[in-house]
């Protein structure tokens, strides 16, 4: 029913060992490992730090930067938002919510509303392009006579 003192100590040692392995060894990266894991180069990481997209990392006694798995996710978010057309300044503003930065969160409603409008316009443009491509695909002759496909002529005429 009650654990012995030795069992209690062993449980605590085991817990700290697991914590150490999980937090310090497995999920800590030096800049090269971190950059590789994120799919960017070291200069990109340093640039993100200068732009304050990444917080200043902790350092080892030898002065090496140490990054956690949370920062890997953060860089993944930054890259994905860039792929979706967000500027680094816009991403910095959005990260203000995560960082609980009141200054960056000022005027967030106006910022989000404007960005929502821009995204809606992009979606409408992409839908028009999709419809145009479907139309052109239907008009294109079979693969054997591809040189006679009217796609280019149609695109030129629409300009």
Residue extents of the structural domains in the chain: 1-106, 107-159
> In what order do the strands lie in the sheet containing 28-29?
28-29, 65-68, 58-59
pLDDT for residue 6: 56
Task: Indicate the CATH number for domain 1-106.
Answer: 1.10.1660.10
**What averages of pLDDT result for each successive group of 10 residues across the chain (159 residues)?**
56 60 64 94 96 91 90 95 93 89 85 93 93 80 59 63
pLDDT for residue 97: 86
Whole-angstrom distance, CA of residue 50 vs CA of residue 137? 47
Whole-angstrom distance, CA of residue 106 vs CA of residue 115? 15
Strands 58-59 and 28-29 come out as: unpaired
pTM of the entire predicted model: 0.66
Q: Per the structure block, which two tokens stand in for 31?
A: 């800049």
Nearest to 139 by CA among 130, 126, 148: 148
Q: Per the structure block, which two tokens stand in for 46?
A: 């340093």
């Amino acid at each position: 029913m009650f654990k012995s003192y030795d069992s209690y100590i062993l449980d605590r040692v085991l817990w700290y060992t697991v914590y150490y392995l999980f937090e310090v060894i497995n999920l800590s990266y030096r800049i090269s490992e971190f950059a590789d894991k994120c799919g960017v180069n070291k200069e990109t990481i340093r640039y993100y730090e200068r732009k304050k997209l990444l917080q200043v990392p902790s350092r080892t006694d030898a002065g090496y930067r140490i990054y956690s798995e949370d920062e890997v996710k953060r860089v993944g978010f930054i890259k994905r938002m860039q792929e979706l057309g967000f500027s680094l300044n816009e991403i910095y503003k959005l990260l203000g919510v995560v960082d609980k930065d009141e200054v960056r969160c000022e005027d967030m409603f106006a910022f989000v509303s404007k960005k929502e409008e821009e995204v809606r316009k992009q979606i409408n443009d992409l839908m028009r392009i999709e419809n145009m491509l479907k139309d052109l695909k239907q008009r294109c002759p079979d693969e054997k006579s591809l040189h006679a496909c009217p796609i280019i002529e149609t695109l030129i005429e629409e300009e």
